[in-house]
Amino acid sequence: MKRLHLFEFEDLSWFPDWLRNYGTDFLRAIADVADYYEHIIPLIKEALERSNESIFIDIASGGGGGWEKILRRLILLKSDVKVVLTDLFPNSTAFAKLESQFPEHVTHCAHPVDALDVPPCLRGVRTQFMSFHHFETRDAQRIVANAVAQRSPILIVEAQERNVFNLIKFILLSPLSVWLVTPSIRPFTWRRILFTYLLPIIPAYILWDGLVSVCRTYTLDELLDFAYRADTEQSYIWEVGRAKGRLMPISYLLGYPVGGRGGHS
């Protein structure tokens, strides 16, 4: 299936923040319910150990989806792990909630952080969970190149694949998932209820963005191509693969400098 870079509502600068936040809140809630990343905890731990790091710099965090369950498992394996949440459109409420749950492990950047030009002061393993597909090919290449230029380890994870089966699955399951999960999302707001059930704007926008996400998702070969183009000096170790997931396989790209952070080949 050929990749199509259609628009997603949540990427549009004019899209209302409150509506975008409802979308990222849903994605966080469904990630917790589905527990997408249960089987890649060893990979996430490996990303830290192989790069001699203890900090994750999470890029394009959205609502911080998945980190709650990741941290509950990861802290048992590495007690000093820390996560810094960042986004071009920070969902401050969602970030603050995660910080309150893990005050010793989670912080966030209140100011916008551009995934294409991450400030050098944000040092650690860069992670992107279900967000890399938001970037068209040229920008996706820049993200990987920026990490390599700053000698930052990088872990990119996607929980969908680009194929017709996933398109059909989203059409059938996305609206139902929104209707079932919405009552459990906190903080509770009547506006969320109104625009989910009476005026179903939220289910419609999440369905569209979900379908587009499938059309935008990069294959493993495409991810590895970004890596090799960025790492012309072959100073990184790269790994791509698929891990078991509760609902679908999890695809990933992991890269880290030879010899750890700041090391040279």
In a domain, 262, yes or no: no
In a domain, 182, yes or no: yes
Model pLDDT, residue 125: 97
Q: Who has greater pLDDT, 112 or 244?
A: 112
In a domain, 223, yes or no: yes
Model pLDDT, residue 265: 33
- For 136-140, 195-199, 259-263, which range has the lowest pLDDT when averaged over its residues? 259-263
Please compute the mean of the pLDDT values over residues 34-43 and round it to a whole number: 87
Please compute the mean of the pLDDT values over residues 17-44 and round it to a whole number: 87
Query: Which tokens go with 185?
Result: 């999302």
Q: How far apart are CA 182 and CA 110, in angstroms?
A: 26
CATH of the domain at 45: 3.40.50.150
In a domain, 53, yes or no: yes
- Whether the CA torsion 97, 41, 85, 61 is positive or negative: it is negative
Q: Is the pLDDT of residue 113 over 70?
A: yes
Q: Is the pLDDT of residue 131 over 50?
A: yes
Query: Which tokens go with 27?
Result: 């994605």
Please compute the mean of the pLDDT values over residues 215-236 and round it to a whole number: 96
Per-residue burial over 110-141, b if 16 or more Cβ lie within 10 Å, else e, is eeebebeebeeebbbbbbbbbbbbbbeeeebb
pLDDT classification of 79: cutoffs 50, 70, 90: very high
In a domain, 86, yes or no: yes
In a domain, 4, yes or no: no
Q: Is the pLDDT of residue 6 over 90?
A: yes
Q: Is the pLDDT of residue 217 over 80?
A: yes
Residue 96's nearest CA partner among 63, 120, 118, 129 is 63
Please compute the mean of the pLDDT values over residues 36-53 and round it to a whole number: 90
Please compute the mean of the pLDDT values over residues 55-72 and round it to a whole number: 92
Q: How many domains would you assign to the chain?
A: 1
Please compute the mean of the pLDDT values over residues 68-73 and round it to a whole number: 93
Using DSSP's 3-state secondary structure scheme, residue 167 falls into helix
Model pLDDT, residue 64: 86
Please compute the mean of the pLDDT values over residues 186-200 and round it to a whole number: 92
What's the chain's average pLDDT? 92
- For 24-28, 81-85, 246-250, 251-255, which range has the lowest pLDDT when averaged over its residues? 246-250
Using DSSP's 3-state secondary structure scheme, residue 243 falls into strand
The pTM score is 0.89
In a domain, 73, yes or no: yes
The residue segments making up the domain with residue 96 are 9-257
Q: Is the pLDDT of residue 231 over 90?
A: yes
Model pLDDT, residue 260: 65
Model pLDDT, residue 246: 67
Bridge-based pairing of strands 125-129 and 250-257 is unpaired
Model pLDDT, residue 8: 94
Model pLDDT, residue 166: 87
pLDDT classification of 117: cutoffs 50, 70, 90: very high
In a domain, 265, yes or no: no
Q: Who has greater pLDDT, 226 or 187?
A: 226
